[in-house]
DNA sequence: GTCCCACGTTACATCGATGTAATGAGTGGC
DNA sequence: GCCACTCATTACATCGATGTAACGTGGGAC
């Protein structure tokens, strides 16, 4: 049977509350009694029951991280950094996959309300803001990414600026026919729309006419879907001079297709991605990409969460994380 | 303020326990009172407090999944499948990263004992079996992978057989100088040792002399470390005919190095991996690998965990998951 | 020597849900 | 019409940790 505060108290010859005081350290305890208690804790191999503590304190020490799909490198890297950063602050992280199933988000929110979760970091896919009504009884929520939300705290990378910068970089050696892979196919994905805006802004600056036939639409951003979209595009369209993929994952799929078709990267076409996932560095050829500090994203998200826990009344806060263009072989001259 | 059973009970004109009975459904409740209670629950937007329930029941509905590093594709895919499978059974998953820090495993175990966790799925790296003493007061534990453990339930892929099969496949077209990447560098990694055993068994069957200079040692199994190990190996050794990487991650690093050196895969050297991570399919060239069903691993692990929760007395159980050799372009003729 | 105060410690109530044992209402048998 | 008996429902105690307020004990001031 597990030891409880009572057992420890009995063994140390004090009251349960004193044991609690020793553990939490806010209420001063005499040195000699503290030692007795610590000895007893050690002897009995006592570990406090977190459910009981959670019930009493109204805090569980657990936050939830909701991602579309853990198996994708981007989500995985975010998860890695959030778990890491959370651990440093003494939080545990519960992971949920929302996938494309809206019921998942519901489950999540009710669990959040059920007090097992002190806060929620949410990386929505196509968040029709409907699903998350930041109600009164919800714990603090921080969103990651580009979300058309004016209520919840948010950490993001300025996609418009990043896409613009990448497009300019791809155009620098005189390339003019720059295609994008991952354009919105009607679902209204915020990410797709913003990146396209940045791309078009760059074209405008460069005096290049927009050409909608260079927008390769692709709903889901995975290597497979990216590869398929590019493959069928190339069946009926001439080869562009450059290809700006809206994620590294799609870029990896694209590289695979190009290689299979015998098209040389970067000689025949320059390729770039977005996200700077670890594998991009080891792609063949190594992938030019938009990079940003995922650890910083994680830290900022946690900071916002923590702050919101102590003060729920402040207005929406939005943190933008810097990006930079990393040029590797796939866009070389 | 959050509604509690009491509030619901008051509003429905019944006792708290009846509300509880309605929710849990084990004790029969009259249809008419059930309706009243359900109405009240809905009206008050009541959500049960999981901490309280956890305290009372001694179960939290949360299991922990401990992985070395979430950012690696292999871990990420395992995590994806475990979270998915757990969700189907109504569990939530708390993720912990053990990294190489043994204190992490300690933290983990004490949290497990602290009752916030009903069970633990552990994917150890170099588990010196010391750290996990499956003590009396620990919740059920299931280990993933090749672990020299005779106490804990385990789900694994037969690495020896898989490595043997892959080596045979690489040798089929008459290749004899087959190198491995990821051999143990002295840390005693169980995975490295077992895969090497399988490789050597195949060589023996084929009548190929073992050649230790074909064992490329590499402690950490990432693209970077794999690439570095191979790169420096090639500086001072002739090119083998085939390269069997002990993980797909290392293989991706290896492909990158080979490409940079202008060595053609598979014409100059065949390359194979292990794990069948999603990106391997889109590697350039696509990666031959040892594949196994990660969803099955997740399901088996959960099954063992669940069974062990109801009956803690059965002996160690070990579940082997089938593998198969998937030949793609990187080992083509 | 009396009074007061500060400090450490204690008893008790509390967080919310649920198992236990007792209560009450209703049914059927004789 | 009485008893036995089922079935739904209730009051109460309980899980373990901790906040609250009361309590005792010591030292210092007068």
- Note the strand D nucleotides within 7 A of protein beta carbons: 7-12, 14-20
| Beta strands B318-321; A153-157: pairing state | unpaired
CA proximity to A125, closest of A153, A110, A105: A105
Q: For chain A, how big is the Rg over CA atoms in Å?
A: 25
Nearest CB among A2, A110, A284 relative to B137 is that of: A2
Mean pLDDT of B121-141: 66
Percent with pLDDT over 70 in chain B: 92
Q: List beta partners, residue B272.
A: B244, B288
pLDDT given for residue B137 in this prediction? 57
Contact positions of strand C to protein Cβ (< 7 A): 7-12, 14-20
Within its chain, how far is the Cα of A170 from the centroid?
26
Q: pLDDT digit of tens for each residue in chain A (333 aa)? A: 688 999 999 999 999 999 999 998 888 889 888 999 999 999 998 999 999 999 999 999 999 999 989 999 999 999 999 999 999 998 999 999 987 666 676 667 777 777 788 999 988 865 554 445 555 457 888 999 887 777 889 999 999 999 999 999 999 999 999 999 999 888 778 889 999 999 999 999 999 999 999 999 998 999 999 999 999 999 999 999 999 999 999 999 999 999 999 999 999 999 999 999 999 999 999 999 999 999 999 999 999 999 988 887 788 899 999 999 999 999 986
The reported pLDDT for the residue numbered A29 is: 87
> Residue ranges per domain, chain A?
5-21+28-39, 62-157+293-321, 159-292+326-331
Nearest-nucleotide field for B12 (CA, C1'): D9
The two beta strands, A323-326 and B318-321, are unpaired
Look at B47 and A224 and tell me if their CB atoms are within 8 Å. Answer: no
B273 alpha-carbon distance from chain centroid: 17
* 8-state DSSP, B116: I
Q: Of A5, A91, A94, whose CA–CA distance to B50 is shortest?
A: A94
Strand D reaches within 7 A of the B168 CB: no
CA of B24 to C1' of D8 (A): 15
- Asked if residue A165 keeps its beta carbon closer than 7 A to nucleic acid strand D, the reply is no
pLDDT tens per residue, range B92-122: 999 999 876 666 766 677 677 776 889 999 8
With respect to CATH, is domain B62-157+293-321 assigned 3.40.50.300?
no
Model confidence at B181: pLDDT above 90: yes
Instruction: Indicate the CATH number of B159-292+326-331 among 3.40.50.2300, 3.40.50.170, 3.30.1330.10, 3.40.50.720.
Output: 3.40.50.2300
pLDDT-based confidence at B230, cuts 50/70/90? very high
pLDDT band at B56 (very low <50, low <70, confident <90, very high): very high
Strand C contact with B312 (CB < 7 A): no
On the question of pLDDT at B154 being above 90, the answer is: yes
Q: Does residue A250 contact residue A182 with C-beta atoms inside 8 Å? A: yes
What single DSSP character describes residue B264?
Answer: -
Q: Is the CB of B113 under 7 A from strand D?
A: no
Contact A62 B97 (CB under 8 A): no
Domains A62-157+293-321 and A159-292+326-331 share a fold: yes
| Least confident residue range of A23-27, B193-197, B281-285 | A23-27
From residues 39-68 of B, list those within 7 angstroms of strand C by Cβ: 46, 48-49, 52-53, 55-57
pLDDT at residue B208 is higher than 80? yes
From the CA of B305 to the C1' of C18: give the distance in Å: 25
Tokens of A91: 């939080």
What would the mean pLDDT of B285-310 be, rounded to a whole number? 95
Which of B60, B71, B93 comes nearest A76 by C-beta?
B71
List the B62-67 sheet strands across, edge first.
Answer: A318-321, A153-157, A141-144, A119-122, A62-67, A92-97, B92-97, B62-67, B119-122, B141-144, B153-157, B318-321
Angstrom CA distances, B290 to A92, A103, B258, B266, B322, stand at: 34, 35, 21, 17, 10
* A253 neighbourhood in chain B, CB within 8 Å: 282
CB A252 within 8 A of CB B279: yes
Nearest-5° angle of CA B85, CA B135, CA B103? Answer: 75
Q: What letters, b where the CB count within 10 A reaches 16 and e where it falls short, cover B41-51?
A: beebebbbbbb
Name B128's Cβ contacts closer than 8 Å, sequence gap at least 6.
B188
Which nucleotide is closest to A115, CA to C1'? C16
Judge contact between B14 and B37, C-beta under 8 A. Answer: yes
Question: Once rounded to an integer, what is the mean pLDDT over residues B64-87?
Answer: 94
Whether B50 sits inside 8 A of A116 (CB atoms) is yes
What is the DSSP track for B134-178?
--TTPPPEEEES----SSSEEEEE-HHHHHHHHHHHHHTTS---E
Chain A hits for B97, CB-CB cut-off 8 Å, are: 80, 83-84, 87
Q: Which residue of B has its CA nearest to A249?
A: B279
Gap from B6 CA to C15 C1', Å: 13
Looking at the partner chain, which of B50, B81, B282 has a beta carbon nearest the beta carbon of A223? B282
**Chain mean pLDDT for chain B:** 90
Sequence-separated (6 or more) residues with CB below 8 Å from residue A136: none
More confident residue, B332 or A207: A207
Question: Which residues of chain A make contact with B54, given a CB cutoff of 8 A?
Answer: 51, 54-55, 116
Determine the pLDDT at residue A235. Answer: 97
- What pLDDT sits at residue A187? 75
Q: Does residue B80 surpass a pLDDT of 60? A: yes
Residue B130 predicted with pLDDT over 90: no
- Using CA atoms, how far residue A307 sits from A87, A120, A301, B108, in Å, is 17, 13, 10, 26
Distance CA A271, CA A230 (A): 12
Quick check: A146 and A189 in contact, CB under 8 A? no
Query: Of A113, A115, A278, which is closest to B223 when you measure between CB atoms?
Result: A278
Query: What's the CA B27/C1' C28 distance, rounded, in angstroms?
Result: 24
What pLDDT, on the 0 to 100 scale, is given for residue B133?
A: 55
DSSP A84-95: HHHHHTT-EEEE
Span CA (A9) to C1' (C5), Å: 28
Nearest residue in chain A measured CA to CA from B99: A84
Compute the average pLDDT of residues B203-207: 97
| Cβ-proximal residues to B1 (8 Å cutoff; 6+ apart), any chain | none
What residues contact residue B183 under an 8 Å CB cut-off, 6+ apart? Answer: B192, B196, B215, B216, B217, B218, B246
Residues B167 and B198 sit within 8 Å (Cβ to Cβ): yes
Question: Separation of CA A136 and C1' C20 in angstroms?
Answer: 37
Q: Which of B101-105, B147-151, B215-219 has the lowest mean pLDDT?
A: B101-105
Residue B170 has pLDDT above 80, yes or no: yes
Determine the straight-line distance between the first and last CA of chain A, rounded to whole angstroms. 69
- pTM for the structure as a whole: 0.92
pLDDT higher than threshold 70 for residue B136: no
**Contacts across the A-B interface (CB distance below 8 Å):** 171
Contacts of B207 (CB under 8 A, 6+ apart): none
In chain A, residues with a C-beta closer than 8 Å to the C-beta of B259 are 284-285
């Amino acid at each position: 049977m597990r030891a409880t505060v009572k057992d420890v108290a009995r063994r140390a010859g004090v009251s349960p509350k004193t044991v609690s005081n020793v553990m939490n350290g806010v209420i001063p305890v005499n040195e000699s009694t503290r030692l007795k208690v610590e000895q007893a804790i050690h002897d009995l191999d006592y570990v406090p029951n977190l459910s009981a503590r959670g019930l009493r304190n109204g805090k569980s020490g657990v936050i939830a991280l909701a991602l579309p799909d853990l198996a994708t490198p981007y989500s995985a890297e975010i998860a890695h950094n959030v778990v890491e950063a959370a651990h440093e602050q003494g939080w545990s992280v519960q992971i949920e996959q929302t996938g494309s199933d809206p019921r998942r988000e519901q489950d999540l929110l009710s669990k959040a309300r059920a007090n097992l979760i002190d806060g929620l970091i949410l990386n929505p896919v196509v968040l029709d803001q409907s699903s998350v009504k930041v109600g009164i009884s919800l714990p603090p929520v921080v969103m990651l990414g580009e979300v058309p939300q004016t209520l919840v705290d948010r950490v993001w990378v300025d996609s418009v600026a990043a896409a613009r910068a990448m497009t300019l970089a791809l155009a620098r050696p005189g390339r003019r026919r720059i295609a994008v892979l991952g354009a919105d196919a009607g679902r209204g994905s915020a990410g797709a729309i913003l990146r396209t805006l940045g791309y078009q802004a760059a074209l405008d600056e460069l005096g290049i006419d927009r050409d909608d036939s260079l927008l390769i639409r692709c709903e889901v951003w995975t290597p497979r879907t990216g590869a398929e979209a590019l493959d069928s595009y190339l069946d009926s369209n001439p080869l562009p001079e450059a290809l700006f993929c809206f994620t590294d994952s799609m870029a990896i799929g694209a590289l695979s297709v190009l290689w299979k078709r015998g098209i040389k990267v970067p000689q025949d076409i320059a390729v770039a991605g977005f996200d700077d996932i670890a594998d991009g560095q080891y792609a063949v050829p190594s992938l030019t990409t938009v990079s940003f500090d995922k650890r910083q994203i994680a830290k900022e998200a946690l900071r916002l969460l923590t702050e919101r826990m102590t003060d729920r009344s402040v207005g929406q806060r939005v943190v933008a994380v810097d990006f930079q263009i990393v040029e590797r072989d796939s866009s070389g001259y």
